[in-house]
Amino acid sequence: MTPPRRRRGTGGRRAQRNEAARLTDQLLDAGFNKKQVGEILGRNPSLVSQFFTKNKGASLVPALRAAVQAVQAGVRDAESLQAIAAGHIQPRLTSTGIIARVRSRGGIRAEKTVTEDGRRVKKWTSSMARAGRQHIASGASRLRPVVEEAAANGGKIAFTVRARKGSFKHDSGRLADSPGVRRNVVQRRDGTEERAYANNVGGPGSGMEGFDAVEFKAMVDAAGGDVAAAVQKWLVDNNRIEPGTVIVGLEIRAWTARED
């Protein structure tokens, strides 16, 4: 039988790698894996792989160098390395001065830089977080900061909920369910369905543009800080789903309210 052919690495020889890849190599040699390196940098592990395959990561070199130096000094715990690396990561700005969005495993947050009293300050503009079945069962803690920040900035909130198709009381897309968002109903093969609420942006048949974030936060506070429980109560109280329906997916979106 022909022996299996040995796969060659796709990143090329070490001497040809960029600085980000070389520093990452040192962390890998120290016992970390690419997923852990991504967590240290606050980035997706797929980006770490692109240090080797696409020569990316130039903006993260200072953070990587700081992490390598810390490891060489004996630091091993993830939280300490994350804190060290974070102090060397500069957010990328768009041409309009808004901080470019960085997608993490659970969400997105965006800011813009404005001038107030002669000083340049960062202001929140939007954020999003999502939770699956397991995270919802444990309280969906990553959703609450989105709600709190939106409330503090007078923002708006919308959400998309995923549940068993038969648990919804109205046919998908009907005005009685969520006016104007028929296109945001997603059917899943496992018998569940995603529906968006309070996400309308105007036009024929549209309802609310978004929940008032302060009022939404009050609902969450009344549910003991559990965003999923607050959303479920709203759906039941407003005759959208059957009582006791299990929510298996939830996405919370928040943004700055338009100025009239």
Domains of the chain by residue range: 14-86, 98-255
Q: What is the pTM of this model?
A: 0.56
DSSP type of residue 232: H
* Whether 161 contacts 197, CB under 8 Å: yes
Residues 6 or more apart from 6 whose CB is under 8 A from it?
A: none
- The per-residue pLDDT for 185 is 63
- The per-residue pLDDT for 12 is 45
d(CA 148, CA 125): 13
Reduced to 3 states (helix: H, G, I; strand: E, B; else coil), residue 109 is strand
- The answer on pLDDT for 181 being more than 70 is no
- The answer on pLDDT for 33 being more than 90 is yes
* Per-residue pLDDT tens over the stretch 69-113: 888 888 888 878 888 888 787 666 555 555 555 554 555 666 666
CA gyration radius for the chain? Answer: 23
* Whether 120 contacts 106, CB under 8 Å: no
Mean pLDDT score across all residues of the chain:
79
Q: How many CB atoms lie within 10 A of CB 139?
A: 16
Q: CA dihedral defined by 150, 156, 161, 165, rounded to 10 degrees?
A: 170
The percentage of residues in the chain with a pLDDT greater than 90, rounded to a whole number, is 29
Average pLDDT over every residue of 239-245: 92
Distances from the Cα of 118 to the Cα of 93, 94, 114, 122, 136, angstroms: 20, 21, 10, 13, 43
